[in-house]
Amino acid sequence: MSSVSIEKPDLEEEIIDDAESFDHRKESDDPGNDDLVTISSLPKERGYLTDYFYQFQGFWYDQHFLRGAIWAQAHFKAQPTDIVLATYPKTGLTWLKALAFATMNRARLENCPLLTKNPHDCVPYIEFQAYEKDPISALESLPQPRLLSTHIPYNSLPGSVLASNCKIVCITRDPKDMFVSMLSFLSKINVGNKEPISKDEAFGLFCNGVSLVGPLWDHVLGYWRASKESPERVLFLKYEDLKKGTLGNVEKLAEFLGCPFSSREKENGVMEEIVRFCSIDSLKKLEVNKRGFYHMGQESGVTVETGAFFRKGEVGDSKNHLSEEMVRRIDQITKDKFEPYGLKY
């Protein structure tokens, strides 16, 4: 069984920089040490894997993600040529990473690093750099343009990301399917003696907005509204659309990334080759994704078997796992949250 091992340091009294004042901070600003807060002073709720989620800047984090987000706000220096893949967890980021990476590196597809590295190693998380031994050097050594990823909500992104006008690609998914995918992922995680959270309890917390970087609906709306305000800078995709029309959306993605497919490439079936290469079934079969491991930062203590990132990749599977009442409740919340902003599911 795929699993995750997590070392659980006692962070309740740890002092961390309060990044509340870092919103929209420019690269040249020094975060300083004026605002300090203990994690234990933050609002908290029952966690899924760790004991608690902590509320920070309106969203819920476990300790691991919280420290990473604060580090990113204080230290990450975005470049105008950066491309950031931004998603709520379990909404299709692994697939998006593979498609974007293969599209940008299609000249060497036969020897693509995706053959020997997990998509999350090919496209690193910004926030997990907090747990690398030399994060700044690691980021600066990436080839240009840098392809990066994050689960950080839009309004909590490092100020340099917003100030640099680098491009952002967001993908979202039907909240019901996302919740089921999340439960599946959680079932493959081993956190020692901690009792796993029940589906009913996780569902109740999720619907009340308490989930990793949740509320999901607020997270999605942040990127949706940004894409409407600045479509040249933020591309918003739906997982369901990507599944239904993969070729057309890969073509759209390439154009947005600044590496459009030429007429010759289209005639030679390059887009089709990328779609086949990056399909969930193809990625599952790669040795690195069957037996490999992904480390969420060298010093984080969190290691995930790469097979845990690949499930069915199907649309609508939630109907096989949720009761009618659960479906009704999520659908109603989604309608109430999204429709006022013109986003429909």
- Whether residue 34 has pLDDT greater than 60: no
State pLDDT tens for residues 145-191: 999 999 999 999 999 999 999 999 999 999 999 999 888 777 666 55
- What pLDDT is recorded for position 42? 92
- The stretch 219-227 carries a mean pLDDT of 98
- The stretch 303-314 carries a mean pLDDT of 66
Tokens in use for 2? 């795929």
- What pLDDT is recorded for position 308? 62
CB neighbours of residue 40 within 10 Å:
12
In this structure, is the dihedral angle defined by the CA atoms of residues 72, 27, 120 and 249, taken in order, positive or negative? positive
Listed residue (248, 256, 255) closest to 272, CA to CA: 248
Whole-model pTM? 0.85
State pLDDT tens for residues 256-282: 999 999 999 999 999 999 999 999 888
Q: Which comes out higher in pLDDT, residue 328 or 283?
A: 328
- What pLDDT is recorded for position 183? 83
Dihedral angle of Cα 198, 200, 203, 205, to the nearest 10 degrees: -80
User: Quick one: DSSP state of residue 190?
Assistant: B
- Whether residue 300 has pLDDT greater than 70: no
Task: With H, G, I as helix, E, B as strand and everything else as coil, classify residue 91.
Answer: coil
State pLDDT tens for residues 282-298: 888 888 778 766 666 56
Residue 328 to residue 325: CA distance in whole angstroms: 5
Listed residue (320, 118, 116, 331) closest to 207, CA to CA: 331
> What domains does the chain contain, in order, with CATH numbers?
4-341 (3.40.50.300)
- What pLDDT is recorded for position 30? 36
- What pLDDT is recorded for position 294? 65
Q: Which of 151, 219, 295, 321 is catalytic?
A: 151
Is 328 buried (19+), middle (13-18) or exposed (0-12) by CB count in 10 A?
exposed
Residue 9 to residue 165: CA distance in whole angstroms: 36
Most confident option among 193-202, 275-284, 312-321: 275-284
Listed residue (45, 44, 39) closest to 17, CA to CA: 39
The residue with tokens 């109740």 is 204
Listed residue (76, 50, 74) closest to 64, CA to CA: 50
**Percentage of residues in the chain with pLDDT exceeding 90?**
58
- Whether residue 96 has pLDDT greater than 90: yes
Residue 119 to residue 142: CA distance in whole angstroms: 15
Inter-helix orientation angle 216-229/175-187, to 10°: 130
Inter-helix orientation angle 324-338/216-229, to 10°: 30
Instruction: Determine which of 108-117, 213-222, 244-253 has the lowest per-residue pLDDT on average.
Output: 108-117
User: Quick one: DSSP state of residue 338?
Assistant: H
Most confident option among 40-54, 57-71, 220-234: 220-234
- The stretch 77-84 carries a mean pLDDT of 97
* Mean predicted lDDT score pLDDT of the chain: 84
pLDDT-derived band at 28 (thresholds 50, 70, 90) equals very low
Residue 272 to residue 216: CA distance in whole angstroms: 32
Residue 258 to residue 47: CA distance in whole angstroms: 40
- The stretch 233-246 carries a mean pLDDT of 97
- What pLDDT is recorded for position 8? 38
64 noted as active-site residue: no
Q: Which comes out higher in pLDDT, residue 135 or 308?
A: 135
Instruction: Determine which of 2-11, 103-112, 213-222, 240-249 has the lowest per-residue pLDDT on average.
Output: 2-11
Dihedral angle of Cα 87, 132, 194, 119, to the nearest 10 degrees: 40
- What pLDDT is recorded for position 110? 84
